[in-house]
Amino acid sequence: GDSVTQMEGPVTLSEEAFLTINCTYTATGYPSLFWYVQYPGEGLQLLLKATKADDKGSNKGFEATYRKETTSFHLEKGSVQVSDSAVYFCAPTRGSTLGRLYFGRGTQLTVWP
Interacting residues toward another protein by CB under 8 A: 30, 32, 34, 36, 42-46, 49, 51, 89, 93-95, 97-106
Is 19 or 104 the residue whose CB approaches another protein more closely? 104
Is 55 or 63 the residue whose CB approaches another protein more closely? 55
By CB neighbour count within 10 A (0-12 exposed, 13-18 middle, 19+ buried), where does 6 fall? Answer: buried
Which of 7, 15, 9, 10 minimizes the C-alpha distance to 84? 15
Is 16 or 42 the residue whose CB approaches another protein more closely? 42
